[in-house]
Amino acid sequence: MAAPLYGLMARFDTAPEIYHAAEKVRDAGFKNWDCITPFPVHGLDGAMGLRRSHVPKFSLIGGLTGFTTGMSMIFFTGAFDYKLIVGGKPYFSPLFAFPISYELTILFTAFATIAGMFILNLLPQHYHPVLKSKEIVRGLDDTFYVVIEARDPKFELARAKALLSAAGAKEISELEA
């Protein structure tokens, strides 16, 4: 019995080739697909039709939470817990609360950024079917790949192979799930 099909993996030799292939796959209407490159390719996200990442929103929320936490902690400490007037200074002053608020802003931003990246990338993902391919190691060195997943609503094996061939794929292989 044959293993279920995960998708197709097409090999390209240069960055311009994968860039144009990504545009063709995007224009064909595929949604569940990805590009594997040995280094970042400028503009590939746009060619794939990807929107901006949502990780900066996590970072902003983390930073605002850290700043608010720092200011609130110093306010409640000075105004309620230790009501000491030293040298005629007020119970709370943002000038005195700024250092701890600044540090908590940085700390919470870092934690929120890492958490957002993990959540949005569905990490940790200890296994991926693309790793079964013997060719994938070349994708870390000198070769570029486009992977179209079989779960895509527009996926038909013959149609997807024809699209990748028309895009200039040097080799197309089927991936087992």
Q: What are the domain boundaries of the chain?
A: 5-50+127-176, 55-120
Token pair for 96: 């005195």
Fold classified for 5-50+127-176: Alpha-Beta Plaits (3.30.70)
Beta-sheet strands, E only, within 78-176: 144-149, 171-176
- How far is 90 from 104, CA to CA, in rounded Å? 23
43-52, 99-108, 127-136, 158-167, range with the lowest pLDDT: 127-136
The answer to whether residues 65 and 112 touch, using CB atoms and an 8 Å cutoff, is yes
Quickly state the pLDDT bin for 1 (edges 50, 70, 90): low
Q: How far is CA 144 from CA 23, 30, 31, 71, in A?
A: 14, 18, 19, 49
pLDDT, residue 140, reads: 85
pLDDT, residue 138, reads: 85
Summarised one tens digit per residue, pLDDT across range 95-135 is 888 999 999 999 999 999 999 999 999 999 888 899 888 88
- How far is 77 from 142, CA to CA, in rounded Å? 58
- How far is 22 from 15, CA to CA, in rounded Å? 11
Token pair for 164: 């990748």
